[in-house]
Amino acid sequence: MAEEYINFSQKNDTGIIKLNRPKALNALNYDMAEIFLKKLNEWDLENSIKRVLVYGEGNAFCAGGDVKNLFLSSNKNNLKEIFFQKEYTLNNAINEFKKDYLSIWNGIVMGGGVGLSMYGKYRVATQNTKFAMPESAIGFFPDVGASYFLSKLNRGVGLFLSLTGFAINARDVMDLGLATHYSDADKIEEIKKNYIQTGNIENTSKYPELDSIIDKNKNFIEDIFQNNLINIFYQLKNSKDEFGKKIYSHLLTRCPMSLAISIELLNNAKSKSLKECLEMEYQLCQHMVYRNDFDNGVDAVLVSKTHKPKWSPSSIENINFDEVDKMFEPHVEKLYL
């Protein structure tokens, strides 16, 4: 089953990984993560492999972890524990992989998909790239090491992306240094072929001619997304700016506890390594996936699709910040990455 959802092959001295679950936007499940990790460890030691290429079938690179399945199997097994152990271990293994590693971002790259690509050497964006950490929509938080790289961006932008889950395009991921290359989508087959044959990424790269909502509102984002949650909401609520108003009503739909957790997470992550961030996120996720907000969020977005989740607490005014602090205290066995 997992072999259908993820294919491994070797051409010349390139190891090729195709995420092949297009009906689920290539969402990563436990079995896929397990054989991905096993293959990567094998290829790290295999002399005939000089580099790795990762891409997705269809119009997504990868939309995230298979949270729908976590929800459906809910408290019947230990999947909520072992899935994240496997996924974060894989994220760390990609970071420690010694050979070149190229991911093709020709479509949706969200959540778990970010973790499969960000720590490799190269990421090619196209005009189809849609990059987001959207977990505040499902009562979760930016994980797979996102606290590491988002906390190292300008604070305003990192926090803006974490709280809103806003999807950014190829121009944004180039501006923010999240992608390493840009190419038109119709040159992607050529780029893959050339990388497989030579290890080079052909310089078809040019700067993407795309509008950027982030760039247009850069000063606003940097001004507002600096403070604590109460202050950010207060400023957005009173904003005369059209963008500010839109972001305010958007944030009112997101999980209040996710928002509070994400701010604290990014603050804590600022001085941490990727490994330390993954360990922190693992402790945190083992609280968050057992809260009702997670089940209600996943159900509302991915299962019954009502898009009207009921959050508890229902607004940021009712957040108990002592409870937020407590969630960061170690309470389960570490990953020992």
Q: Which residues are catalytic?
A: 65, 112, 135, 143
Contact 262, 154 (CB under 8 A): no
- Footprint of ligand QUE on residues 121-160 (CB under 6 A)? 134-135, 137-138, 140
Among 52, 109, 191, 301, binds ligand QUE (CB under 6 A): 301
Is 201 or 257 the residue whose CB approaches ligand QUE more closely?
257
Q: What SS3 class is residue 333?
A: coil
Q: Smallest Cα–Cα separation from 264: which of 220, 331, 323, 312?
A: 323
Is residue 249 packed enough to be buried (19+ CB in 10 Å), middle (13-18) or exposed (0-12)? exposed
Contact 65, 87 (CB under 8 A): yes
Q: What is the closest distance, in whole angstroms, from the C-beta atom of residue 138 to ligand QUE in the complex?
A: 5
Region near ligand QUE per CB under 6 A, out of 6-14, 63-71, 215-223, 261-269:
63-71
Residue 154, C-beta contacts closer than 8 angstroms, at least 6 positions apart: 222
Among 107, 111, 120, 309, binds ligand QUE (CB under 6 A): 111
Q: What is the closest distance, in whole angstroms, from the C-beta atom of residue 65 to ligand QUE in the complex?
A: 5
Region near ligand QUE per CB under 6 A, out of 23-31, 95-103, 192-200, 238-246:
23-31
Binding residues for ligand QUE, rule CB under 6 A, total 17
39 Cα distance to chain centroid: 22
Residues 194, 125: Cα–Cα separation, whole Å: 16
Q: What is the closest distance, in whole angstroms, from the C-beta atom of residue 281 to ligand QUE in the complex?
A: 14
Joined tokens for residue 20: 């092949």
Question: Residue 54 phi/psi, 5° resolution?
Answer: -125, 130
Q: What SS3 class is residue 181?
A: strand
- Residue number with the smallest Cβ distance to ligand QUE: 64
Q: What is the closest distance, in whole angstroms, from the C-beta atom of residue 113 to ligand QUE in the complex?
A: 8
Among 25, 32, 94, 251, binds ligand QUE (CB under 6 A): 25
Is 22 or 199 the residue whose CB approaches ligand QUE more closely?
22
Residues 8, 121: Cα–Cα separation, whole Å: 19
Contact 291, 139 (CB under 8 A): yes
Q: What is the closest distance, in whole angstroms, from the C-beta atom of residue 33 to ligand QUE in the complex?
A: 13
- Footprint of ligand QUE on residues 27-56 (CB under 6 A)? 27
Among 52, 54, 63, 90, binds ligand QUE (CB under 6 A): 63
Joined tokens for residue 309: 């989740």
Tallying the residues shown for the chain, one arrives at 337
The residue ranges that bind ligand QUE (CB under 6 A) are: 24-25, 27, 63-68, 111, 134-135, 137-138, 140, 301-302
